Amino acid sequence: MEALRRKILELGKGIGKDIVKVDMFLNHRIDTALLFQMGEAWAEEFRGEKPELVLTVEASGIAMAVAAAHALGDIPVVFAKKSATVVQNDDIVQAPVYSFTHKTENMIRIEKRYLPAGTRVLIIDDFLADGQAVRGLMNLCWQQEAQVVGVGIAVEKGFQPGGKQLRESGVHLKSLAVVEGIENGNIVLKPDDD
């Protein structure tokens, strides 16, 4: 997606060999025009899959999930929580997810009633590195016998194995931008294939 690629090259920063910092427009301060363009791009890609719900994990994926759900006809958004709350009931599904960015493992959870069996689910998230978050969200769907019809990612780190593994397993994956690497603090993007 050209608009996202331009923002990454203009405002993104590479840290070390594996950190892609895009917080100035994507996941801390959000460029809303870009956000809704991203939602439209995912809707165009996945409309034929007929998703009935968009699933993400708190917190950075929520805005993107809402944009995609709106573009898909205002379908519901559900987000997995990373910690238990006093208002959450015990009738939940949960899965462990290791965060590459935070270097911690979280137990993500959703109340079962939010993810009914048979629901056609589109997973949306901001980053794909090793694929831990996506696999955790897919695990929640499998536990509930919900059908994952696709995965939409804003920024894929193509130099890490998550995207390749998901594609090889037959997942319909659409990443709007793919980072090939970081050179001297500069983000190197894979040529756009759209």
All structural domains of the chain: 2-189 (3.40.50.2020)
The pLDDT, as a whole number, for residue 82 is 87
* φ, ψ for residue 60, nearest 5 deg: -65, -25
With b for 16 or more beta-carbon neighbours within 10 A and e for fewer, the 129-158 pattern comes to bbbbbbbbbbbbbebbebebbbbbbbbbbb
DSSP for 102-128, please give it: TTEEEEEEEEGGGS-TT-EEEEEEEEE
Mean pLDDT of all residues in 83-110: 80
Distance CA 194, CA 192 (A): 6
20 within 8 A of 12, measured Cβ to Cβ: yes
Q: Return the higher-pLDDT residue of 90 and 132.
A: 132
Per-residue pLDDT tens digits for 79-95: 999 876 655 567 999 99
**Tokens read off for 140:** 């929640």
Neighbours of 162 (CB within 10 A): 24
Nearest to 39, CA basis, from 79, 8, 4, 6: 4
pLDDT-based confidence at residue 10 (cuts at 50, 70, 90):
very high
Contact 82, 62 (CB under 8 A): no
At 98 the pLDDT is: 84
Residue bearing the bigger pLDDT, 192 or 128: 128
H or E element, residue 98: strand 92-99
What is this structure's pTM? 0.94
- pLDDT value of position 101: 67
Residue 111 banded pLDDT, cuts 50, 70, 90: very high
What's the pLDDT at 106? 87
CA nearest to 150, candidates 172, 118, 181, 182: 172
Both tokens of 134, joined, read: 């996506």
CA dist 38 to 43, 87, 98, 101, 154, Å?
9, 33, 26, 22, 8
